[in-house]
Chain A
């Protein structure tokens, strides 16, 4: 089984090399004449005010949390989908109960208005 993963390891290595090589070539060929105006963050011509890293709308965190839960659900669905034709009705019903529970959660989110964006 491991022999299948050897090309992937090498491919990831080559991907890193390509990224690095491009950056190095670009840095060598391109000019390098920094000045204070050029290096300041772009803010439509104004000098930058306030810090960039401000607290964000809580909605973004909520989306990330809900995403973790649904991602876990997909993680459970993947092996089930692969073996469903072998595990018969029992396995099918087990997953339907599981999906039912998550559908309840999904409906709760919806009704609470956690999926609304304004």
Chain B
């Protein structure tokens, strides 16, 4: 009896240990993003609040918390308030299955990849409900666009997951990482390169980030589905978007770049030299790299046109993944070393 309660308490402590750094990470990701984009555009970026502007995200949170929550008179009140919760809950819950290092996962389920994929498909709900409940034309248009875009890229994403499952022969995230052991050239980015690229593009499109952010499109539909949201309700959408960005980066690191494995594994001199570095550091470095790529993309590319987005999703990514899934399955069938043993 006592032990069972202790177990539940222990799980709650573990969840807090995951969620609190995650929320802090989001806060400083926004700061990092503004600084990096500032530097890329020859500006300084935020530098007023605290030393080097380091307290800027804290100030942002406080400001958003103390702003009025405006509920438009023509909206559906309940759905309008529920929509941000529909967005944030799946974004957080997905973290339950992520292994941070060997044996360091909250829930080590066998259907890990499927769980992530299923929760990812829920992201469309918060957007649709928010856009509809606002009863505003910009919001509704943004929501419909975002929904059609998200579901189109989900197919390509699903196919690239299939490639990973083929190569690893398992849906368990720990197993998938452990199958990539043996150094840089054994990671799945190499044999599954087209799927890796597809996954990354779909990941950027799924999170509605530039260059695929027609859902928000400030210059044409103002802010898309969350135009009517203010204060903390807006902050929840914002939070979910950044949590999802970190999630997409984490999945990319786990599935294609060997998760917590050291890149110097098996190299004569460098391998032993870096053997002391804990796996979680490698994982965080890889995630950081992907997040930087997100910001870099945002600073570099103009927005895609909507028909171009749909064409890329349906006419380029789906055929490419379909062909490569067949190629990988042939590789597995004929046991091509060293990846498919």
Interface residue ranges, A against B (CB under 8 Å)? 1, 4-8, 10-12, 14-16, 18-20, 22-23, 25-27, 29-34, 36, 38-44, 48, 52-53, 56, 60, 63-64, 67, 70-71, 74, 77-78, 81-85, 89, 92, 95-96, 99, 103, 106, 110, 115-118
Contact B134 A26 (CB under 8 A): no
- CB-defined contacts of A53 to chain B, threshold 8 Å: 132, 135, 140
- CB-defined contacts of B88 to chain A, threshold 8 Å: 15, 18-19, 22
Contact B107 A78 (CB under 8 A): no
Determine if B67 is an interface residue (Cβ-Cβ < 8 Å).
yes
Determine if B54 is an interface residue (Cβ-Cβ < 8 Å).
no
Contact with A along B89-105 (1 / 0, CB 8 A): 11111011100000000
- CB-defined contacts of B89 to chain A, threshold 8 Å: 12, 15-16, 19
Q: Using A117-B310, A118-B307 as known contacts, say yes or no to A82 and B97 having CB atoms under 8 A apart.
A: no
Interface residue ranges, B against A (CB under 8 Å)? 8, 11-12, 14-15, 19, 64-75, 81, 84-85, 88-93, 95-97, 106-110, 113-115, 117, 121, 132, 134-140, 144, 147-148, 151-152, 154-155, 158-159, 161-163, 165-166, 169-171, 222, 227-228, 231-233, 235-236, 306-307, 310-311, 314-315, 318-319, 322, 325-326, 329, 332-333
| Complexed CA–CA distance, A22 and B6 (Å) | 27
Summarize A's interface: helix, strand, loop or mixed: helix
Q: Using A18-B88, A30-B232 as known contacts, say yes or no to A11 and B106 having CB atoms under 8 A apart.
A: yes
Contact B96 A11 (CB under 8 A): yes
Contact A11 B92 (CB under 8 A): yes
4 smallest beta-carbon distances between A and B, as pairs: A26-B232, A81-B165, A19-B85, A117-B307
Q: Using A30-B67, A63-B148, A82-B170 as known contacts, say yes or no to A42 and B136 having CB atoms under 8 A apart.
A: yes
Contact B162 A41 (CB under 8 A): no
Q: Using A18-B19, A42-B222, A78-B165 as known contacts, say yes or no to A32 and B135 having CB atoms under 8 A apart.
A: no
- CB-defined contacts of B138 to chain A, threshold 8 Å: 42-43
With A26-B231, A39-B70, A41-B134 given, name 12 new contacts (CB 8 A).
Answer: A5-B109, A7-B107, A8-B96, A8-B109, A15-B92, A41-B74, A41-B137, A71-B158, A78-B114, A82-B169, A92-B329, A115-B311
Q: Using A15-B93, A78-B162 as known contacts, say yes or no to A84 and B329 having CB atoms under 8 A apart.
A: yes
Which B-chain residue is minimally distant from A62 (CB atoms)?
B148
| Complexed CA–CA distance, A79 and B233 (Å) | 39
Contact A84 B72 (CB under 8 A): no
- CB-defined contacts of B163 to chain A, threshold 8 Å: 81
- CB-defined contacts of B231 to chain A, threshold 8 Å: 26, 30
Partner of B69, one of A5, A14, A26, A118: A26
| Complexed CA–CA distance, A9 and B292 (Å) | 32
| Complexed CA–CA distance, A99 and B318 (Å) | 13
